[in-house]
Structure 1
Amino acid sequence: MPRFLRALVLILSCVWLTPITEQYTSSQTQVLQQLRKQLEFPKQLAPWNNTENICYLPSTPVLTVICEGNSVTELKIVGDKLVKPDTFNGYSIWGKTLSPAFSSDSFFTTLSRLPSLKVVILVSLGIWGPLPDKIHRLSQLEVLDLSSNFFYGTIPPKISSMTMLQTLTLDGNFFNETVPDWFDLLSNLTNLSLQHNRLKGPLPLSIGRVHSLIEISLSYNSISGELPNLSGLVSLEVLDIGDNELDSELPHMPKRLVTMLLGKNKLSGEIPGQFGELSQLQHLDLSYNLLQGTPPTSVFALPNISYVNLASNKLAGSLPVSLTCSSQLGFVDISANMLVGRLPSCLSSNSNNKVVKLDGNCLTVDSLHQHEASYCQTHSKKKFSKLKSLVLLVVVIGGVTVIALLLLFFLRYCRRKQEGTVSEQGLLPKPALDNSASGLSSELLTNARFVSQAMKLGAQVLPTYRAFSLEDLKEATKNFESSSYIGEGTAGKLYKGRLENGTFVAIRCLVLSRKHSIRNLKLRLDLLSKLRHPHLVCLLGHCIDGGADDCSVDRVFLVYEYVQNGNFRSHLSRSMEKVLKWQERLGVLIGIAKAVHFLHTGVIPGFYNNQLKSHNILLDEYLVAKVSDYGLSIITEEIHKNEARADGQRAIQSMSKASEGLCLEDDVYSFGLILLEALIGLRRSEKGGAFLPYEMAMQFSSQEEQKRIIDPIVIGTSSQESLSNVVSLTSKCLSLESSLRPSIEDVLWNLQYAAQVQATADRDQRSDVGSQT
């Protein structure tokens, strides 16, 4: 071969063979850099600066790029636009959405240029907009996690073609359509998590046919209707559909279930005895429903059960004294039901290593918070009487309907026969008049709807949120006369009213500092109305006082449930007939912490700067804490006028701006002030009567100082370990350096620990007294 031919072959080999992988790798790097630009250069992607091959970078908790054969197969980016507080550093970083120039369609078009991706995790990056159908182009995807962003609209149906998908996580977004009816097409799906969205409508029956599922998490949505039969999901271990609006009876459950969370729905009927056969079950929460009957005793004896919460239902009857409890059982809550009789020994307060809550029943135990036996009997009779009346009414209506229909058919039969006779005589029939008793049947139909609706309303734990007219509120408060005036705070005047159905309400009048858009205001009120929690004062509705145009709102009225037992601050005063003891104060503080935790993490964007003050904490008849005046900052703050984008984008950006600049530590510091008041009562610092929180907290350094400063009632009713734990927690919450304050999760955990320690000390003390007598 001539020398020049050999040289030509060598050159072509270098061109054709060597650069192929380099060029391919370079193109993948270019796609990643384009994604970085579209995400507006988040700091988590700073390691991509000045690098030719991103595949070789080391993985970190917030950034992972894994390549196989020079193709990107895994992309994980965890941003700081909205970070859930963790237990390591305990602080939240709040950010807003990406700029209006961002396009989710363009972003996923770029992402689809990485066709070998198997894992995509894009969390808390501020991505907003509808999730495009073209996501299905990533046909090799096995894991898709887009949590804590601002996606809205429908979950794309074309995801159903991604048959390799095993994990689908879309938590903490704004998806607001129905739950898709195509999950059964994903034959490899094991984990489905759509928590903290705005999904509505019923659960599709097809979800019971996804036999590969191990976990279903759909809590904190507005899913209604029937809970479908899931017994065919033989691999299912976690079922979390709490905080929704399901209103059916409980079906049989898969036998491999480990965790079942169905609390805060409208589930009715009895707890199936089959639940006592779920040998793997560890965690059962059916609280805040409408369940009746006596709970199956076998549930308490399941070999692995550790947590049972049946609180706030309509459970009745008595538990057998010989009830057997599992050795693993550590927490039982049967409070706020209608249980009677003696408490089984395995649920008694003397049981070791077990927390049992039973207030609000008619049990024959030595407790200040049990009803008389007649209370449960009366309610049971009333319930039976109402049911009997409804059945009788339905039967009567049904009978009248049948008679009316028979009469209608008879009249038509007679008319047709008469018309036939006239025709035989060669005469034209007379035009028929509409005298078919239509008024009667319409009335019956209306009554039938009314009965059905009345039964639904009677089954609800909380009233439906509604819009009130100004006339409604004037009638409820007798035109806001002085006798209905309760007081005035930073959030406006407060009135007590009585609705036409007899329900007492508290009405907050907010005077807006400038003209606001009704449309924007309604978006904010809609978000506020979604906040339902047992430790929040329930918002029942609103009234917007404005003109006919869209920009003339001067006032907005918020209508809350009326909590009649005063505020936490008043119960710390010695002038009260019954001052709260330490264990009771701990119960109130735990309730407040649960409410704050929900406000921060139970909805996205979270609610911060929640006016936490002891006089804004209300107590019901059972001394259950309810936080009031929460979330008002999104209404009272100045609303930006830029409303040119689509509704979904506008709502999200508005909520983001409402929380911009607010940080989690604000509520933690305010909670520290409440902790301090719980410790010292209504005392003040000795320096000129001023309330100096941090200085006072620092004076708790020794037991002698504690006895001098802390409320004697607290000293006399607390154990040293429980008290010391809360004293230390108070000092941390009131730290002048925000980075040293704990997270709300840490606050809640420490309070629950202090309560458990105190409960153990109280049991030991009672045992000592009993042995001496």
Structure 2
Amino acid sequence: MLFLKKFHLSLPSNHWFLTIICSLVRCHIGSAHFQFCLSSRLTNLQVLDLEDNAFGPKFPLLGNKLISLVLSKNKFRDGLPAEVTSYYQLQRLDLSNNKFVGPFPQSLFSLPSVTYLNVADNKFTGMLFENQSCSADLEFVDLSSNLMTGKLPNCLLRDSNKKVLYAANCLATGDENQHPITFCRNEALAVGILPQRKKRKASTETIAFCVAGGIAGGIAIVGLIYLAVRKVKSRKTIERPNTRTIAESASAGYPSKLLSDARYVSQTTKLGALGLPPYRTFSLEEIEEATNNFDTSAFMGEGSQGQMYRGQLKDGSFVAIRCLKLKKSHSTQNLMNHIELISKLRHRHLVSALGHCFEFYLDDSSVSRIFLVFEYVPNGTLRSWISGGHVRQNFPWTHRIAAAIGVAKGIQFLHTGIVPGVYSNNLKITDVLLDQNLVAKISSYNLPLLAENKGMVVHGTSSGASKDLSTSARINQDSKVDVYDFGLILLEIIVGRSLTSMNEVAVLKDQLQASITSDDPARSSIVDPGLLRSSSDQSLKTMMEICVRCLLRNPADRPSVEDILWNLQFAAQVQDSWRGDSQSSEGSPVSPTKRPRLNITIH
């Protein structure tokens, strides 16, 4: 029989009853009892020391206010959950001498308060990178006896005051105490980490041992636990917040050091406002489980940017997973610049990336496939709401203006919100999705990784651009390609039907141009009939003017995205005033009484 050797909890006094129950258990405690003792009610837990016991295999469910967490010398063997990276007050983390598997979360190096990090003697995998950032207070790191590859982060080597141990990995350090890279790959395969990890069933011996231990514990202990469970169930239980909630509410527990880092706080605030969890690396097992091993029922379609699957994560949230097979061999290091850009593509009007997963070739450890995990947008395409039968009745002119503003803001972010900007995105109305609040989101953009895999020019010029153009001229020309595509989306919003050919586009453009200076009946023959009674003539005319300018043949004559946004917001305000709505549209810098910023001249 195994005894509970050490159980140190720091928690409020009203949890004494649970503490007594946990400390009385004198058998090999299984996962169910362990999770009961460390329930989500312990939201203020700060110090947990379970060293040298037999806990496991799953990582405990804990709050995000931990300062010290010691789980060394136990029997944990699953991967680390994503919420570990949200322990922003954590100073000491000791996971050594277990059997943890899966990718090592390198963000643990940069937790703002961490001083001691020990993950020695596990089966953690993953590639370390020289440019990884570290907390300034980090003093001790032990990565020994794992299956890590790559190079040690420079931030661990620069400071002589840091003690760093890393023997018995497969790191490219030039030291004799490292295994060859084939050793880590073979060991990872042996424990089922790459290329896929098969689920293990609990052995009969383990089950029999737990049953025997429970009987030996005595009827008194069983009765006490039974009463405790009933007492807990009789109360209103407080559900454990999932990863997303932790990320959004973590600000309540930020230490002063973190608050002093304005850049970090600003980024975290943005993520909370979007309602998205932090970008992270997914394991292949998570991807397979989310898609039911890529079942045909999860398949959403296939296009030039890979196969798309609908998946559901363990926290219940739905995601869209893009599977991209690489045409040429890539090392993980070569792909990280692409991944860094993808991780920045987060905006209210973009279908934002949540994370990625690499699948490797076993012969040379290069990346064979990439899985990009995006937020799932449930309400279909913008086209389905405009020309999709009965649904269009619920998508009036005000909604269409809002959708157009959303698409324009998404384009503006792609061009100017990140460096380098993303241009020539081949935007289509079928790539604009609507979320549960009917907010427009661009779902397909010119990711350099996707473009490179198709043999296209990355981040520079569209196919027709001259090599003699300067960088700024090429960027301006590429931005005007997106403006033209936006004009096509705007044209379909106005006429209320699908566009079948470029000849039809040219005809409709000429008709719009002629009707702008004509009377209302001329416009009514072109515009979606469902809009005539619900739209202001001035608002509609402004939108038509923008559309015509966007579709001009000479890119230099097309308006900038900023001018487009200015006038779209003007159209929205005119429409609000016409409806007698006192609430102006979002963030409009223009008064309805002012003329549009864009000077429309029809040639």
Q: TM-score, normalising length from structure 1?
A: 0.38
| Structure (1 or 2) with the larger CA radius of gyration | 1
Q: TM-score, normalising length from structure 2?
A: 0.49
